[in-house]
């Protein structure tokens, strides 16, 4: 008691950041395989920290590709400011704003154009080996000129299924009109909405 009166209270530990790492990888690349052994997911990052306690990975600025399971359908590509992956690679988080896109392609069965698709959301939880992801945050999905907004999203990328859960609204085009209309990128919609809020 006398010591604390003379010396004062101990300094508060105000360190904010990931737990202490047992090693750091710079300019890293990770491959993830599904339950059948096929390449499922790749990710690059300028820095990854491996947590000493549970061997999970903290990731800076991840850039990733989610492999398509259907012939002729292109991969989804995306990025986020931060990420985390558990030791076994079965659970992943993408923290902060996340952007994904898939280029336009011609469907092999019908010969029709499937326009570019984009997804803007944030704070996503994913299951890389199953190509599933979800978030409780607002999400904006586009395909061609079609735009859908909602709060909360679930996606299964193996079968190209995305579901908005609440407060859903949007603009839909017929498949023929959508194939010829100018594609919309979700980033332009999110940026415009942010500018309206700030103004």
Q: Which residues contact 157 (CB under 8 A, 6 or more apart)?
A: 66, 68, 76, 131, 132, 133
106-132 average pLDDT score: 89
67-71 average pLDDT score: 83
Task: Provide the total of helices (H) and of strands (E) in the chain, helices listed first.
Answer: 3, 13
**pLDDT of res. 141:** 94
**pLDDT of res. 97:** 96
Instruction: Tell me the per-residue pLDDT of 71-112, one tens digit each, with 9 for 90 and over.
Output: 888 999 999 999 999 988 889 999 999 999 999 999 888 888
142-160 average pLDDT score: 90
Q: What is the DSSP letter of 7?
A: H
pLDDT at 33 over 60: yes
| Pairwise CA distance, residues 73 & 77, whole Å | 13
| Pairwise CA distance, residues 132 & 127, whole Å | 5
Of all residues in the chain, the percent with pLDDT exceeding 70 is: 88
**What is the average pLDDT score of the chain?**
86
Cβ atoms within 10 Å of 111's Cβ, excluding its own: 7
Cβ atoms within 10 Å of 72's Cβ, excluding its own: 11
Q: Which helix (H) or strand (E) holds 198?
A: helix 186-198
Residue 103 Cα to chain centre, angstroms: 16
Correct CATH for 20-198 of 3.50.30.30, 2.60.40.10, 3.40.50.2000, 2.60.450.10: 2.60.450.10
Give the gyration radius of the chain's Cα atoms: 21
Cβ atoms within 10 Å of 148's Cβ, excluding its own: 19
Of all residues in the chain, the percent with pLDDT exceeding 90 is: 47
């Amino acid at each position: 008691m006398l010591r604390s009166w003379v010396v004062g209270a101990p300094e508060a530990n105000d360190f904010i950041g990931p737990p202490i790492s047992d090693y750091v990888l710079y300019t890293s690349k990770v491959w993830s395989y599904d339950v059948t052994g096929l390449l499922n997911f790749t990710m690059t990052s300028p820095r990854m920290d491996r947590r000493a306690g549970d061997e999970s990975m903290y990731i800076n600025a991840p850039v990733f590709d989610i492999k398509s399971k259907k012939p002729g359908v292109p991969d989804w590509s995306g990025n986020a400011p931060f990420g985390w992956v558990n030791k076994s690679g079965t659970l992943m988080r993408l923290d902060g704003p996340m952007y994904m896109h898939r280029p336009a392609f011609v469907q092999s069965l019908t010969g029709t154009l499937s326009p570019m698709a984009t997804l803007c959301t944030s704070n996503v939880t994913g299951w890389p080996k199953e190509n599933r992801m979800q978030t409780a945050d607002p999400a904006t999905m586009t395909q061609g000129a079609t735009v859908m907004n909602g709060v909360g999203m679930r996606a299964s990328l193996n079968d190209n299924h995305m579901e908005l859960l609440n407060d859903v609204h949007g603009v839909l085009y017929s498949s023929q009109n959508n194939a010829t209309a100018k594609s919309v990128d979700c980033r332009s919609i999110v940026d415009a909405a942010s500018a309206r809020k700030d103004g």
